[in-house]
């Protein structure tokens, strides 16, 4: 069908116009022609952003794993579905065909059932990037259990918070994981977390690093023997369109992460359709997204989107720097990667290493390059374009969020002319709006404002697990009848969008979305700390790094400050994870506060960024005198 695969700019505009004029027809045609349903929908869309409530394909019945696996078996059973590239470059890559994937997902699903997991139960998956991670998520979807994948770099406290918030009955983990030359004791982290998680009945443990771990009697079981004994057929659960498929946590402006809930049918249709177009995936292409399945990018564009299109999707266990900074390019050459999707922070780190490690490898298989997770700066864009794409492979700078489920603003390769640092045009079905601070929509071009979306799209998160009010307050209250993204953006003279960054208390560090509140909560746990405030400042490789302002209690005053800094970062590592460590910690006597007691982060941000010539209005502060003191001692 023509709508499904956009090939040139006029076609994009045509499809886009249709998607806005007749959204229901538009999505209905795509859903009808490209997916397998047990029963079609009664109603394509109903929505009310005031409640907020959004339903797509209501009345339809389906199973997403049938769309991602079973339906490919007849024509493509022997095609590689998942190509697993291990951490160790000398270890053999594993090709898992669609037929094998079907068997392994069914076996895993039967194991889940045998352990009492049923439709609607929550299962926490805390695994490294090994095939079991993709298989476990699909096994949950097979039986209608709701998976909650937690990135395996999160600490035990962060893991426990997420397990308890969604009341998970089971945790799936491994004895440990490889990360470059290091190993990580994942099972130990799970054991620590579970001290505080009474809801968990069973822990299934995959063997990866063959380490000696302790298994708790009655709770922990090795996965492999269970799989070996499980039947390799498992009837898919018949799911309703709006049944939750998964929960994925993202940072928010309070200490509690937000469990974004994604539905089944809309998520499937949107991730599949975007995957096909944004990467221009063609039969027999080899597609590689370097993200971790612990993030939304991995859910949508390693697992569900590619598999729904019968694609070959690469899963990489390792890191870009091991055994050296040529690893990504070695893999591109080895597997003849056609589409390569990564984050600006990785591009910046690799660009620093010089071109010898790029030029050693044959990258001529590449057709499309992708970028995601944070704004890509001009220098990184050109390095990527010149040295990796050799100016032949368009860069798709894809803007989206955990909450949006799929790519929202992006070029369509070979159709949309690219422009460095611009995510360019809205994907069909997406209706962006830029708002001024008074809540008025800016209709003209060449404006900047707060980025909202004014019409529902199929893969939008439906709620925050257990807290619909927070969902409403966070996304639908800032601007009437619009979804507010939390990002600022500008629109140029031809209507291209450039995302300028967060306008709230979320900071993106190395492409990871970090809320300041949970990090501040962790810092405040230190016995010598009275109060803290964290802001971001620009960093060459990470995009942003974290700057902490810390007020010490009397007991802290006499302590060695460098030791205190180490201890504070240690606490952050334990409570949030190593990605949230502070690059700079300034001890201060006070923090600038408004009369209502709110910390004026704007001022702290400017000082951290060394932009002190214009601090703006400080007259409303309760304690304006601290500002000079903070500036004098800035790091
Ligand atoms: O600020 C935007 C930034 O990442 C945020 C979403 O983070 P997360 O939910 O972790 O999802 C990341 C992967 C989809 C956004 O609000 N962001 C994401 N992609 C881009 C981006 N900023 C600029 N350009 C992008 N391409």
Q: What is the DSSP letter of 387?
A: I
Distance CA 262, CA 242 (A): 9
Give me ligand 1 centre to Cα 545, in Å.
Answer: 16
pLDDT value at 201 more than 60: yes
Whether the pLDDT of residue 1 is over 60: the answer is: no
How far is residue 124's CA from residue 102's CA, in Å, rounded to a whole number?
A: 21
pLDDT band at 3 (very low <50, low <70, confident <90, very high): low
Q: What percent of the chain has pLDDT over 90?
A: 89
Task: Report helix angle 561-575 to 516-524, nearest 10.
Answer: 120
Backbone angles phi, psi at 47, to 5 degrees: -155, 155
Give the atom of ligand 1 at the shortest distance from the alpha carbon of 423.
26
Which residue's alpha carbon is nearest to atom 12 within ligand 1?
373
Residue by residue, DSSP assigns 232-270 as S--PPP-EETTSEEEEEEE--SSSSPEEEEEESHHHHHH
Distance 270 CA to ligand 1 centre (A): 18
Give the binding-site residues of ligand 1, using a 6 Å CB cut-off.
Answer: 250, 296-297, 371-375, 397-402, 423, 485-487, 499, 502, 508, 513
Answer for the pair 430, 401: CB distance below 8 angstroms, yes or no. Answer: no
pLDDT in tens, 566-623: 999 999 999 888 999 999 999 999 999 877 777 888 899 999 999 988 887 777 788 8
518 or 184, which is more confident: 184
For residue 400, report the distance from its CA to the centre of ligand 1, in Å: 5
What was the pLDDT predicted at 2? 47
Atom of ligand 1 nearest to the CA of 410: 26
Higher pLDDT, 575 or 459: 459
Please report, for residues 185, 563, 572, 582, 584, the alpha-carbon distance to residue 566 in angstroms, rounded to integers and kept in the order given: 22, 5, 10, 10, 11
Backbone angles phi, psi at 355, to 5 degrees: -90, -10
How many whole angstroms separate alpha carbon 307 and alpha carbon 281? 12
Query: 105: part of which helix (H) or strand (E)?
Result: helix 98-114
The residue whose CA has the least distance to atom 15 of ligand 1 is 401
Half-sphere exposure of 147 (CA within 13 A, CB side): 27
| Banded pLDDT at 195 (limits 50, 70, 90) | very high
What confidence tens digit (pLDDT) does each residue in 66-79 have?
A: 999 999 999 999 99
The closest residue, in CA terms, to atom 26 on ligand 1 is 399
Ligand 1 probe mutation, 508, 512, 580, most atoms within 8 A of CB: 508
Alpha-carbon distances, residue 32 vs 73, 120, 290 (angstroms): 20, 26, 31
Token couple for 489: 């953006």
Among 250, 259, 291, 374, say which to mutate for ligand 1: greatest number of ligand atoms within 8 Å of CB. Answer: 374
| Atom 7 of ligand 1, residue of closest alpha carbon | 401
The pLDDT of 444-460, averaged and rounded, is: 97
Q: Is 286 within 8 Å of 474 (Cβ atoms)?
A: no
Contact status, residue 242 vs residue 56, Cβ threshold 8 Å:
yes
Q: Can you tell me which residue has the tokens 């971001």? A: 536
Q: What is the distance between the alpha carbons of residues 487 and 499, in angstroms, rounded to a whole number?
A: 7
Ligand 1 center to 553 CA (angstroms):
37
Q: What is the pLDDT of residue 370?
A: 98
Residues 6+ apart with CB under 8 A from 558: none
| DSSP secondary structure letters along 506-562 | EEEETTEEEEHHHHHHHHHTSTTEEEEEEEEEEETTTEEEEEEEEEEPHHHHTS-HH
**Which alpha helices (H) appear in 311-400, and where do they start and end?**
327-335, 344-351, 356-359, 378-383
Residue nearest to atom 18 of ligand 1 (CA): 373
If you measure from the C-alpha of residue 624 to the centroid of ligand 1, how many angstroms do you get, rounded to a whole number?
35
Residues 387 and 351: their CA atoms lie apart, in Å, by: 9
Q: Ligand 1 centre and the CA of 452: distance in Å?
A: 14
* Residue 132 pLDDT > 90: yes
pLDDT at 625: 87
Q: Are 206 and 132 in contact (CB under 8 A)?
A: yes
73, two tokens: 């078996």
To test ligand 1's pocket by mutation, which of 151, 270, 278, 400 has the most ligand atoms within 8 angstroms of CB?
Answer: 400
Return the SS3 of 396: strand
120 phi, psi to nearest 5 deg = 90, -20
Centre of ligand 1 to C-alpha 505, Å, is 14
- pLDDT of 630 reads 94
Looking at ligand 1, which residue's alpha carbon is closest to its atom 10? Answer: 513
Query: What is the pLDDT averaged over residues 134-157?
Result: 96
Six token digits for residue 185: 């004791």
> What pLDDT, in 10s, does the model give residues 208-223?
999 999 999 999 999 9
Mean pLDDT of the chain: 95
Atom of ligand 1 nearest to the CA of 397: 26
Structure tokens at 524: 């405040």
Tens of pLDDT, residue by residue over 378-387, are: 999 999 999 9
| Mean per-residue pLDDT, 426-434 | 98
Q: Provide the pairing of β-strand 395-398 with 339-342.
A: unpaired
> Taking 60 as the threshold, does the pLDDT of residue 10 lie above it?
yes
pLDDT digits (tens, 9 = 90+) for 292-304: 999 999 999 999 9
Q: How far is the CA of 451 from the centre of ligand 1 (A)?
A: 12
Residue 343 CA, ligand 1 centroid: distance in Å: 10
Interval 242-254 mean pLDDT: 90
Which residue carries 């960054």 as its tokens? 501
Q: Can you tell me the distance from the alpha carbon of 454 to that of 69, in angstroms, rounded to the nearest whole number?
A: 34
Global ipTM: 1.00
Hey, whose CA ends up nearest to atom 14 of ligand 1?
401
């Amino acid at each position: 069908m023509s709508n499904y695969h956009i090939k040139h700019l006029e076609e994009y505009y045509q499809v886009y116009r249709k998607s806005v004029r007749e959204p229901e027809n538009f999505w209905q045609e795509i859903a009808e022609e490209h997916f397998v349903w047990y029963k079609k929908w009664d109603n394509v869309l109903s929505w009310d952003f005031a409640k907020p409530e959004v339903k797509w394909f209501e009345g339809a019945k389906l199973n997403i794993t049938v769309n991602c696996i079973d339906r490919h078996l007849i024509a493509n059973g022997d095609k590689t579905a998942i190509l697993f590239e291990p951490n160790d470059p000398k270890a053999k890559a594993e090709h898992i065909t669609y037929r094998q994937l079907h068997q392994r997902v069914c076996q895993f699903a039967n194991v889940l059932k045998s352990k009492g997991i049923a439709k609607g139960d929550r299962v926490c998956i805390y695994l490294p990037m090994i095939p079991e991670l993709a298989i476990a998520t699909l096994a949950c979807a097979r039986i209608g259990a709701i998976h909650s994948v937690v990135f395996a770099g999160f600490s035990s406290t962060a893991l426990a918070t997420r397990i308890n918030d969604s009341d998970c009955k089971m945790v799936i983990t491994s004895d440990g994981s490889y990360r470059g030359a290091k190993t990580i004791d994942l099972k130990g982290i799970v054991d620590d977390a579970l001290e505080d998680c009474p809801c968990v009945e069973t822990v299934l443990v995959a063997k990866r690093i063959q380490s000696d771990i302790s298994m708790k009697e009655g709770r922990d079981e090795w996965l492999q023997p269970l799989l070996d004994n499980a039947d390799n057929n498992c009837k898919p659960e018949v799911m309703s369109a709006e049944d939750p498929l998964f929960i994925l946590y993202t940072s928010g402006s309070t200490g509690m992460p937000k469990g974004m809930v994604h539905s089944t049918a809309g998520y499937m249709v949107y991730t599949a359709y975007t995957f096909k177009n944004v990467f221009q995936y063609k039969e027999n292409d080899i597609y590689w997204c370097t993200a971790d399945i612990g993030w939304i990018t991995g859910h949508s564009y390693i697992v569900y989107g590619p598999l729904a299109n019968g694609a070959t999707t690469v899963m990489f266990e390792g890191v870009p720097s091991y055994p050296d900074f040529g690893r990504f390019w070695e893999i591109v050459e080895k597997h003849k990667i056609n589409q390569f999707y990564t984050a600006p922070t990785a591009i910046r780190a690799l660009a620093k290493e010089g071109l010898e490690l790029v030029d050693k490898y044959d990258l001529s298989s590449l057709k499309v390059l992708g970028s995601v997770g944070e704004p890509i700066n001009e220098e990184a864009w050109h390095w990527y374009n010149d040295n990796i794409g050799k100016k032949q492979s368009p860069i798709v700078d894809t803007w989206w969020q955990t909450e949006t489920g799929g790519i929202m603003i992006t070029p369509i390769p070979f159709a949309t002319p690219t422009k460095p640092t611009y995510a360019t045009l809205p994907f069909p079905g997406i209706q962006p709006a830029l708002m001024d601070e008074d809540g008025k929509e800016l209709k003209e071009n060449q404006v900047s404002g707060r980025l909202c979306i004014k019409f529902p799209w199929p893969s939008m998160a439906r709620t925050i697990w257990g807290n619909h009010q927070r969902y409403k307050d966070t996304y639908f209250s800032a601007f009437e009848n619009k979804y507010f993204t939390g990002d600022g953006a500008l629109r140029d003279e031809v209507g291209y969008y450039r995302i300028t960054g967060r306008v709230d208390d979320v900071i993106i560090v190395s492409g990871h979305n970090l809320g300041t509140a949970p990090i501040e909560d962790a810092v405040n746990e230190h016995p010598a700390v009275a109060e803290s405030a964290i802001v971001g400042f620009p960093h060459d490789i990470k995009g942003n790094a974290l700057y902490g302002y810390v007020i010490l209690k009397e007991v802290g005053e006499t302590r060695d400050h460098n030791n205190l800094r180490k201890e504070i970062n240690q606490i952050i590592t334990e409570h949030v994870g190593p990605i949230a460590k502070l690059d700079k910690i300034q001890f201060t006597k006070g923090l600038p506060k408004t009369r209502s007691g709110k910390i004026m982060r704007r001022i702290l941000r400017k000082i951290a960024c060394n932009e002190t010539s214009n601090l703006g209005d400080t007259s409303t502060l309760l304690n304006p005198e601290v500002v000079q003191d903070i500036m004098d001692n800035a790091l």
